[in-house]
Structure 1
Amino acid sequence: MQRYLLVFEKIYLPFSSLNLAHSNIVTSVLVKNDTVYITLDGNCSAEPADLYFIKRKIECGISEIYGQKAICIIESKDPKVNAFNMRESSDISGMFTKISGVKNTICVISGKGGVGKSTIAIKHALKLQKDGFKVGICDLDIYGPSIPKMLDISGKCEFENGKIKPFVKNELQIASIGFMIEEKDPIIWRGPMINKAISQLLREVAWRDLDYLIIDTPPGTGDVHISLIQKAPLDRVICVTTNDAVAIQNTTKCVNMFRKMGILVQKLVTNMAYSVKNDEKIYLFGQKDAAKNTMSDLGFLEFEEVEFLA
């Protein structure tokens, strides 16, 4: 197992902060004729569909990172679980394939619109840039791209050696669906078109030597998020909410979607948490730490409050 730690450390159990390297779900690893055979304990508490997704991740991860064929077998007393061994594994190797020109990715999510997710994404990008890193922003809010407007950039994208040329403002590299459509045009797309657009915005952009790519996503849970998880390695995920009950409820669902798919959401940012008057913090939604206290069981490693600046 030690030989394949790079893969096992990247795969987390659903609704857990444990990865496969620190769990007992992998019971054996055998290499024979350059094929890696992995056995999973299917009698654990994970749902059969979740075990199948772990199986797919292992097979794609070993193939992508180590260049070896992998066959993962789920062993269980339940024939319904064993039936997942017969399913063909679709290609999710994008979860392990670095984006060309990008060292690290940071994904910003929220469960509700209007909580300032894009603002936090931009602030985070500018902070990293101030710290001396090369940074880009990929605006995956397919239905309502706001990054171009917020950064005061307009125009249509150009191509460079067959790839989309990112817009550059103050050395910040930016790609958005907003540069591909007219500002007033609605996006009326089904899943396949969304998948294609996400692939283009992530992997068909001529990113240039980025230390960090900030990925801004639409609110909620849907095709964009599923495609993103399957098509890109997410090194860090930041969740944004406000302290009101509706935002907290919807954001909890969004975080749990990522957790169910084995993605660790490391940080919770409570935006517009308070304003300051006469050196005193005034909490805008009537209570302090509502989001932090309500969502503390979701496994966040970091918490941050952001001031509302009128």
Structure 2
Amino acid sequence: MKLPSEVVLCEVGLRDGLQNEAKILDTSQKIDIGKKFINSGFKVIELGSFMNPKAVPQMADTDELFLAFKDFNEVEFRALVANVKGIERAIACGCKKVKLNVSASLRHNLENINMTPQESVSSFSEMTNLATSNGLEVSGSISMPFGSPWEGDISQEEVMSIIDAYLKVGITEISLSDASGMAMPKQVYELCVKVKEKYPEVKWWLHFHNTRGMAVANIMAAMEAEITNFDTSIAGLGGCPFIPGAAGNVASEDVVHMLDEMNINSGIDILKLLEIGKEIQNIVEHETDSYLLRAGRSKDLIK
């Protein structure tokens, strides 16, 4: 197997993890958890999203979080934005990096941000110009590049057209997000090889939901295709409220455990991560989709 010696993980629990939770955490709880993520070794953290608070009340305090973490210069904090209003909020609170999103699925894009993919693409230029003229970095993400519960298969050509739209406005950091949890390893490997070959200038991220238990296998396939940047969520929290049956993200601790056992460096302290995961489960008051929180580390079972 051809695997990397190290990878970078972005912790998305404070955004993609909490947006699907019925319980809304206090800002002070989020700040405490964010500091613990930093202490465990994360260098990239998604703090929240600048969405309409009425639509996503779990993210209403994202502005406050960025103000609270403004002095942590060693960590890259990013937030999801959907429109110019979101960019304006990001500028006002000192956010330095935003992520745009469009879905390769028409139905999902309509449900998620009330736009067609074409309408989303047409807004990229205005949003990017506003962000970059105010010193913000901009990345992009593509939801459902591996399949949609409404349209079924998504063609590589559809995905490429969105990549081209991002490149046209100068965005060269792009995430492929399996929000529906329909991706399979062979499909992931083939698409990753294709986009890396066609777009060598792009920095790629992969984001997998564990809806059908394939997320870790898909990360393995992506690493074989030489992808080294991945989103993960503490305790496996997450899911998209607009996708039928959507489950949480791949658990950060499950991924770090796998990497540790294969001697692939992530820079994350697994023991600290497990403590955070246990705390999160207590806060949300339910079990989560984390194998490691249920079974513990493999080496801890060896007597």
TM-score bracket, shorter-length normalisation: 0.3 to 0.5
Under a length normalisation based on structure 1, what TM-score does the superposition of the two structures give? 0.38
Higher helix proportion? 2
Higher strand proportion? 1
Which one has the largest radius of gyration? 1
Under a length normalisation based on structure 2, what TM-score does the superposition of the two structures give? 0.39
